[in-house]
Structure 1
Amino acid sequence: MLLRREPVGALEAIERLGGMQAQAPNPPYIGLWSRVEGFEFDEVSRLMTERRVLRIVLMRGTLHLVSARDARVLRPLTQPLLDRYLTGPAGWDLDGVDLRPVVDAARALLEEEPRSDKELRSLLGERWPDRDPARLGWAVRLSLPLVQVPPRGLWGKAGTARHTTLDAWLGEDAAAAAEPSIDEMVLRYLGAFGPASVQDVQQWSGLQGLREVVERLEPKLVRFRDENGRALYDLPDAPRPGADEPAPVRFVPEFDNLTLSHADRTRVVSDEHRKRIFTVNGIIRATFLVDGFVHGMWKAEKKRGEATLRIEPFAPVPGPERAALEEEGMRLLAAVHPDAKAHAVEFVS
């Protein structure tokens, strides 16, 4: 949906993308603004308060914005990844600890009312004073499907992150409609990000051993080879634009699926520039696209009532694309900071 904005609702767009990385609350809104025709920021906030869209830990063990339907389907499929974290080297100090009563107690506490991590740690520490409450809280987050409830995640709203269980948030009756299928998960991924390799699917999901799944699905797929001879798979009727397809300038937010959903992203960003947008502390910086390729980074801020978009190119931007970036940047600022008394786009070295 970056070649042309699609006339779809936010819910459909989120599902078509297989969910959106949501480590920070605001980036998914920008990602949808760049993909959806006539996108209104309040639409996602409304979907969240109506419990049709929610924030939950899924692929790669990271927070995602997904539909309620997808949360039910994807959360059980990503549990093996979270179990691997729990039983791996990071969980060494929990060896021999019976976590079942801890998880059961946490479930009851979180279903009683949404609680912050700090509140949960304090309550667990009272019951297990001989254990590190921070580590118990970490184990609970890996063991239970937890929803980060509003107002956290609503556009323009601030608030402490508080959690309850997926069942408590959606109602246990909704669980009966969920049919988790790893095959369907892979097909959904290819629908959003194909053509892609087995390694790409594993990078996106965080799961291992998906080669046999892809091989089982191969009769339903089309297969290609990239420049390095790697097998790429796609859905037969998926759009595959040619190299001459025009690609307009686009602003892509932090943590966007575009930069996180493949093992090999050289189709959109060079390895050299990827190192610049992936920071050592886990931040994936916002980028902008010129002709479908990452050409630099951007940042928007508002000070003393004036909103400014600063564009940092990796290389000189040709005149027509520079003008298009200025125009698109002004539209972005108007959407993000509609109450600013002035808007400006600046190019910085």
Structure 2
Amino acid sequence: MNVRALNRALLARQHLLERTAQPAAAMLGHLVGLQAQAPLAPYVGLWTRLSGFRPEELAALITGRDAVRGSLMRGTVHLVLAEDALILRPLIQRVVASGYTGHFGRRIGDADLDVVAAAGRAWLEERPRTRRQLRDLLAERWPDHDAEALSYAVGYFVPTAQVPPRGVWGSTGPAVLTTLDGWLGRPLAEKPPIEDVVRRYLRAFGPASVADVQAWSGLTKLREVVEPMELRTVRAESGDVLYDVEDGLLPDPDTPAPARFLPEYDNVLLSHADRARVLPPGRRVPLPPGNGASRGTVLVDGFYRADWRLHGTGLEVSPHDRLSAGERAEIEGEAGRLLAFLDAGERPVRFTGN
């Protein structure tokens, strides 16, 4: 398969060729969650894939505990369905825990991590707390240790959830943590089937190599999992073996791809070891700070070719290469729909640079 064929397969499976009418929960499950360091980014991620999506629908899932925010794939914050969190966190736990090595690991000194984690869990079960509140409690119990490093240890080794109003449209607030199982009222899965998760990844992101699955999840040594599975295989132009589910969508590579606005950190840009299927050579994924729903990237003909940012005076589109008049018109039309979704009023759309 060439790059364009892989691009169109990815776009079709991500519902970026044509918006679909389905509940937000169904799309969240299909995508195996949305990356959510920027708390409001998932709202734009669902808007660009769903027809008729309203922010209140996703907000209700979060406040109703049907969807939850927490550290999952690659050790990064994701918004996933509650039932998926209970499956994914045990699988990803070693990835999350590995993030503690290095900077914080060197600062913890001789503190017993198991004891620290147990104390942190008890405090978070007592009531949700911010990291600063947790740090103050740890400092009181371990006055001779680095309280910040200890607080991060709790976050890495205790499966936690970020509770509302964090991530709720129209609300704001700091990241407040509690235990994941306590928040959802259900235990984490004891032996979650990783093969099922691999199939779900392929259905949303495939065809993909073993390295791609590892890049998405953060897990290693997955060849021994993937190769024995009964999966369809194809060859990339590079010669790499790509695995796929039997019913994975494979549209015609010449299928037109409309302009699409993606939020910060969208997994379309981050979930493959070989990102050529969506990133032009030499282009990196931007990782801006922010609360979400105010900036991101633009796909033109299926590839990342511009950035967008919402200002007080308008929506700014910054192309990375020259756009045709037709491409600019298409982007401008989609930008108008995004402004309407964001309830941003009659702001102009401006192009900068190219």
Q: CA deviation at 1:96?
A: 4.2
Between the aligned partners of 1:169 and 1:50, the Cα distance in structure 2 is 11
Of 118, 141, 153, the residue aligned with 1:139 is 153
Trace 1:92-103 onto structure 2 (pairs within 5 A). 92-94=106-108, 96-103=110-117
What amino acid is the match of 1:195? P
Give the paired residue count. Answer: 337
Q: Which residue of 2 aligns with 1:251?
A: 261
What amino acid is the match of 1:293? F
Q: Which residue of 1 aligns with 2:177?
A: 163
Q: CA deviation at 1:176?
A: 7.3
Between the aligned partners of 1:43 and 1:311, the Cα distance in structure 2 is 28
Q: Which residue of 1 aligns with 2:351?
A: 347
Between the aligned partners of 1:193 and 1:56, the Cα distance in structure 2 is 21
3-state secondary structure, aligned to 1:294: strand
Between the aligned partners of 2:95 and 2:215, the Cα distance in structure 1 is 12
What amino acid is the match of 1:253? P
Trace 1:218-237 onto structure 2 (pairs within 5 A). 220-237=230-247
Q: Which residue of 2 aligns with 1:310?
A: 316
Q: Which residue of 2 aligns with 1:211?
A: 223
Q: CA deviation at 1:130?
A: 0.9
Q: Which residue of 2 aligns with 1:328?
A: 334
Deviation per CA, 1:227-266, whole angstroms, max 9, x where unpaired? Answer: 1111111101111112111111100111001111011111
Q: Extract unaligned runs of 5+ from structure 2.
A: 1-14
3-state secondary structure, aligned to 2:170: coil
Between the aligned partners of 2:246 and 2:226, the Cα distance in structure 1 is 14
Q: CA deviation at 1:281?
A: 8.3
Of 77, 84, 105, the residue aligned with 1:70 is 84
What amino acid is the match of 1:113? R
Partners of 2:199 and 2:245 within 8 A in 1: yes
What amino acid is the match of 2:272? H
Relative distance call for 1:153 and 1:115 in structure 2 (3 A) is: same
What amino acid is the match of 1:334? A
Do residues 193 (structure 1) and 200 (structure 2) align? no
Deviation per CA, 1:274-305, whole angstroms, max 9, x where unpaired? Answer: 2xx4359899972111111111111112x2xx
What amino acid is the match of 2:270? L
3-state secondary structure, aligned to 1:125: helix
Between the aligned partners of 1:295 and 1:207, the Cα distance in structure 2 is 30
Partners of 2:90 and 2:189 within 8 A in 1: no
Deviation per CA, 1:55-96, whole angstroms, max 9, x where unpaired? Answer: 010011100000000000000000111232335675133364
Q: Which residue of 2 aligns with 1:291?
A: 301
Partners of 1:85 and 1:91 within 8 A in 2: no
Between the aligned partners of 2:241 and 2:158, the Cα distance in structure 1 is 36
3-state secondary structure, aligned to 2:65: coil
Partners of 2:315 and 2:349 within 8 A in 1: yes
Give the alignment's Cα RMSD to 1 decimal.
Answer: 2.0
Q: CA deviation at 1:344?
A: 1.3
Taking every aligned residue pair, what percent have the same amino acid on both sides?
48
Deviation per CA, 1:177-201, whole angstroms, max 9, x where unpaired? Answer: 7751111121111111000111111
Between the aligned partners of 2:190 and 2:44, the Cα distance in structure 1 is 29
Relative distance call for 1:291 and 1:265 in structure 2 (3 A) is: same
What amino acid is the match of 2:286? F
What amino acid is the match of 2:320? F
Between the aligned partners of 1:111 and 1:97, the Cα distance in structure 2 is 22
Do residues 319 (structure 1) and 328 (structure 2) align? no
Relative distance call for 1:178 and 1:104 in structure 2 (3 A) is: closer
Partners of 1:254 and 1:283 within 8 A in 2: no
Q: Which residue of 1 aligns with 2:280?
A: 270
Trace 1:36-75 onto structure 2 (pairs within 5 A). 36-75=50-89
- Of structures 1 and 2, the one scoring higher in RCO (CA 8 A, sep 6+) is 2
What amino acid is the match of 1:297? D
Between the aligned partners of 1:162 and 1:52, the Cα distance in structure 2 is 18
Q: How high is the TM-score relative to the length of structure 1?
A: 0.92
Q: CA deviation at 1:112?
A: 1.1
What amino acid is the match of 2:36? A
Q: CA deviation at 1:103?
A: 1.2
3-state secondary structure, aligned to 2:213: helix
Between the aligned partners of 1:176 and 1:299, the Cα distance in structure 2 is 38
Between the aligned partners of 1:19 and 1:280, the Cα distance in structure 2 is 20
Partners of 2:72 and 2:92 within 8 A in 1: yes
Relative distance call for 1:282 and 1:41 in structure 2 (3 A) is: closer
Between the aligned partners of 1:234 and 1:267, the Cα distance in structure 2 is 16
What amino acid is the match of 2:258? P
What amino acid is the match of 1:242? D
3-state secondary structure, aligned to 1:43: helix
Between the aligned partners of 1:95 and 1:210, the Cα distance in structure 2 is 33
Partners of 1:69 and 1:178 within 8 A in 2: no
Partners of 2:107 and 2:146 within 8 A in 1: no
